[in-house]
Structure 1
């Protein structure tokens, strides 16, 4: 992510704290993506947009070797603490080629809630295909198009860049809306094969902690997640 979309400074600190217990991150997207990943023991995984290291930490605990990359130095600092330096982490603008990674050097790639922040998605997807070994998997999650349609209104087919207020409106997240056909179309055009698509629901643990959030996230989708393969 570039300067306009990466979570720098106060926004990075807020996200690092919030992702620990957020109904959206901790109980919906993260469990769904880890379930899609399956058995990662011994696998070398690239965590694209690794943020504060929550996914990297979970993957390490499951026996994976992890390389993480994020455009925010603030978040990478949090990630280093979270993974206790057990993962290789890079501060890197995802709008630029992944010069630190060699061809076919990863068994799997996790790209959680990142793709909608990227402007040059075709370049990033080409780079992900390059560094993924043949037969390797790619996991991608994004905001659900219908959730953005409900939130911002206008046309479902909008590709506009939007500002989502967070932290009681004191900060905002900058990202691009896109319909399902754009999201999937770009992944398929990049040469990946779709294996599974899910609309993640929160885990049952959330019901005991925040029943209203649990009910809300079971009524309408918030995220969309896919598992793809490189042929």
Structure 2
């Protein structure tokens, strides 16, 4: 079995997700104690997909979150660097004409500048070896005025909740994973990557550095997860030449 480490080498991480792709959604539902569906609903609402929009869902996995974004008539590109996840997603959503799957690296997206009305990524940014480079790519492919929504594990602000959460990651989750996952070792990385991930304020600072405006976050499930939002500033109109006197 393959598991990644905190060096997050792309080939290693992709191979790990290839191996868990078949039962990935079921395992997530079990480990989140049913909260995964609520987090997905909150993310979809934050993205606010509209009919006719073109939306990029990065680290889309098998396309569960992507399918939810298509329900209002938006066209969604589900991108993931795991070929196993893409294969499962294409099969599972073959009857959805508004959903297409593309294998892609978040740090080198195969899309044009200013192409998407919205970009979103759920529980994938912390798996990217260079997350700031990925944020720059998200900014590049967004249209001026386009919106970014990141749903990611975070740091509960209250110490007792934080202590209980990390106790769950370190002691309870590994036992559950042995029963629910086809690759229990891969989920050791999950706990390690969450513990090493920066808090809400730090990630918000990264969005600002990448050029996003109106940066804000909202905690979900007591801060175990946070929704981060930003907007690519609209293009500044060209100055009108002064009339000759």
Question: Which bin holds the TM-score, normalised by the shorter protein?
Answer: 0.7 to 0.9
The residue correspondences of 1:209-220 to structure 2 (distance < 5 A) are 220=222
Kindly indicate whether the alpha-carbon contact (under 8 Å) linking 1:42 and 1:64 is maintained by their aligned counterparts in 2: yes
Measured in 1, the distance between the counterparts of 2:201 and 2:223 equals: 17
Tell me which of 116, 134, 138 is aligned to 2:126.
Answer: 116
TM superposition shift of 1:152? 4.1
Going from structure 1 to structure 2, the CA distance change for 1:20 and 1:105 (only over 3 Å counts) comes to same
Match of 2:102 in 1: 90
Kindly indicate whether the alpha-carbon contact (under 8 Å) linking 1:56 and 1:83 is maintained by their aligned counterparts in 2: no
Kindly indicate whether the alpha-carbon contact (under 8 Å) linking 1:44 and 1:107 is maintained by their aligned counterparts in 2: yes
Q: Does 2:63 align with 1:53?
A: yes
Kindly indicate whether the alpha-carbon contact (under 8 Å) linking 1:54 and 1:82 is maintained by their aligned counterparts in 2: no
Measured in 2, the distance between the counterparts of 1:177 and 1:146 equals: 12
Going from structure 1 to structure 2, the CA distance change for 1:37 and 1:93 (only over 3 Å counts) comes to closer
Residue 12 of structure 2: SS of its match in structure 1? coil
Q: Does 2:24 align with 1:3?
A: no
Match of 1:222 in 2: 224
Aligned length: 200
Kindly indicate whether the alpha-carbon contact (under 8 Å) linking 1:49 and 1:111 is maintained by their aligned counterparts in 2: yes
Residue 129 of structure 1: SS of its match in structure 2? helix
More strand by share: 1
State TM-score, norm by structure 1.
0.77
TM superposition shift of 1:12? 2.0
Match of 1:16 in 2: 25
Q: Does 2:71 align with 1:69?
A: no
Residue 41 of structure 2: SS of its match in structure 1? helix
Residue 11 of structure 2: SS of its match in structure 1? coil
Kindly indicate whether the alpha-carbon contact (under 8 Å) linking 1:194 and 1:226 is maintained by their aligned counterparts in 2: no
Q: C-alpha root-mean-square deviation of aligned residues, in Å? A: 2.5
Match of 1:191 in 2: 211
Measured in 1, the distance between the counterparts of 2:121 and 2:212 equals: 14
Residue 211 of structure 2: SS of its match in structure 1? coil
Kindly indicate whether the alpha-carbon contact (under 8 Å) linking 2:62 and 2:89 is maintained by their aligned counterparts in 1: yes
TM superposition shift of 1:3? 2.8
Residue 156 of structure 2: SS of its match in structure 1? helix
Structure with the greater alpha carbon radius of gyration: 2
5+ long unaligned stretches in structure 2: 1-7, 168-172, 234-245
5+ long unaligned stretches in structure 1: 154-163, 202-219
More helix by share: 2
